[in-house]
Structure 1
Amino acid sequence: MPPSDVPQDIYDPAYVKGVFDRCSGKYIAFSYVCSMGFTERWRRQCVAMLDLPDGPVSGYDLMAGTGEAWPHLLERFPQVDSIVAVDISSGMHKRAVERLHAMRAEKIEFIEDDVLESRLPADSADFVLSTFGIKTFDRSQHARLAALTARVLKPGGQFAYIEASDPKGWILRPLYLLHLKFVLPLVERLFLQGARDFSMIGTYSTNFGDARGFAEDLAAQGLEVEFRRFFFGCASGVCGRKPAGD
């Protein structure tokens, strides 16, 4: 559970922005070490859910964070001509810009914005990608994100989302929840001296459950959707496409 002084609406965009602004400086190292490297593995698997056509393609990385998905995307699909990355956190924005290598900078544009309020043009993307961002939305916000996904994709365009999840039914689930709810906050208190922001990542993940509900939201928008589980359900994802006839 979140700390007692956490406001009731932890999904308010201003609150989410504050959490990730404050922890942005150490987010990369913390997420990698405390996930035992699984975050990088799941990012690769998220990218692998796409099957992009040959020839120049462009798209969006939503809730892009510090841009850890970009190397995997550009390595697997060198035909990607441009990526527009959207994130609400100015701290994450700064870290992402710092991480842009010269060989990638010309391909990536960063927009600092609340993705649900963004004015991304309709039928403008060959793909939509997002890694570890949808847990910071509640169910009504998931429906809005699904509508945005359907709107911005070109006919035939593809999407892939992945998120840390609650592995219900897994025999080792109690140990996983212990890691999220007690180990992560302990690491933060002992080594990061943070404002209990990293512990909120565990709260968001357990509240999220898995991506089944989001898959239903995407299907309700007329998208072709497949739900997938990774590592016994510790992560879940959705992928699919906008029908070419739309």
Structure 2
Amino acid sequence: MVQDIYDPQFVKGVFDRCSDRYIAFSTWCSLGFTERWRRQCVEALPPPASMGMGYDLMAGTGEVWPHLLKHYPAIGTIVAVDISSGMHQRAMTRLHAHRAHRIEFIEDDVLASNLPDDSADFVVSTFGLKTFETSQHRRLAALIARCLKPGGSFSLIEASDPKGWWLRPLYLFHLKVVLPLVERFLLQGAQDFAMIGTYSSNFGNASAFADMLRNEGLEVEYRKFFFGCATGVCGRKPGADRQGAP
């Protein structure tokens, strides 16, 4: 039987098992670019009409939270939504315990989480888009449009396939050959980190997701980072007076 790698329980298992070493793996294997891209994702977030509460979807280890709270110190609460209990425990006990009073957590499949309508001032997500296939991306776009308040904003980023870049073959070699070797020889034969490369290869880029967000009535800008090695979407939900935005 062929395993559906986009099944929520499969994704949960992958990231639960990866959680203890995920931060070191992603930072080292991206040569530090993941941290830079998280910061750029926050910088791309249009100033929301207010900063009371926002969602970090597919929040993982919460590495975007320091960037959010530095860039927007008036944020009241970040609600982190992630299916992996291992990633959340890693975030709260080893990284962000001193920020715990500003973080709430929903452990659930994002697409099944029933977030309230018009509840969020902002939505962010860093490196979670790759764990969904096309029909799930459509559901995610609808969820973002539904849960944002009028005037609320969003910014999402994902590692991508830099088609057209002359160094693309080297990038793909790193993704498909180097990362599995690192996993095999430096991570005691773990079998899950290579899935991160598989998800990234399958994802392509965020352009199709940008169109899905537009189809939901959102104002959307599609962006490329470092020759397309990461791509992102940012924008807002129309309908509010933004004069009071920071």
Give the shorter-chain TM-score range: over 0.9
The 1-side partners of 2:11 and 2:3 are apart by 12
Alignment of 1:174 with 2:208, yes or no, is no
Deviations 1:35-92 (A, max 9, x none): 0000000000000011325764310000000000000000010011110000001111
- Aligned match for 1:121, one of 116, 125, 128: 116
- Match runs of 1:112-151 below 5 Å: 112-151=107-146
What residue is the counterpart of 2:193 in the other structure? 198
The count of residues paired between Structure 1 and Structure 2 equals: 241
Cα distance, 1:194–1:95 mapped onto 2, change above 3 Å:
farther
- Aligned match for 1:11, one of 2, 6, 19: 6
Cα distance, 1:178–1:200 mapped onto 2, change above 3 Å:
same
- Contact 2:46 2:154 (C-alpha < 8 Å) held by counterparts: no
Alignment of 1:214 with 2:231, yes or no, is no
Q: Which runs of 5+ in 2 are unaligned?
A: 242-246
What residue is the counterpart of 1:86 in the other structure? 81
The 2-side partners of 1:57 and 1:171 are apart by 44
Q: What secondary structure sits across from 1:127 in the alignment?
A: strand
The 1-side partners of 2:46 and 2:117 are apart by 21
Q: Report the RMSD for the aligned CA atoms in angstroms.
A: 1.6
Q: Percent identity?
A: 73
The 1-side partners of 2:71 and 2:240 are apart by 27
Q: What secondary structure sits across from 1:171 in the alignment?
A: coil
The 1-side partners of 2:142 and 2:13 are apart by 26
Aligned letter for 2:135? Answer: S
Residue 194 of structure 1 and its aligned partner are, at CA, apart by 4.0
The 2-side partners of 1:196 and 1:100 are apart by 25
The range that moved more, 43-52 or 63-72, is 43-52
What residue is the counterpart of 1:76 in the other structure? 71
Residue 102 of structure 1 and its aligned partner are, at CA, apart by 4.9
Aligned letter for 2:69? Answer: L
The 2-side partners of 1:170 and 1:192 are apart by 31
Deviations 1:171-200 (A, max 9, x none): 000000000001000001001024321111
The 1-side partners of 2:45 and 2:83 are apart by 24
The 2-side partners of 1:213 and 1:55 are apart by 29
Q: Which runs of 5+ in 1 are unaligned?
A: none
- Contact 1:225 1:241 (C-alpha < 8 Å) held by counterparts: yes
The 1-side partners of 2:103 and 2:218 are apart by 26
Aligned letter for 1:80? Answer: I
Q: What secondary structure sits across from 1:148 in the alignment?
A: helix
TM-score, length-normalised on structure 1?
Answer: 0.94
Q: What secondary structure sits across from 1:144 in the alignment?
A: helix
- Aligned match for 1:32, one of 27, 31, 44: 27
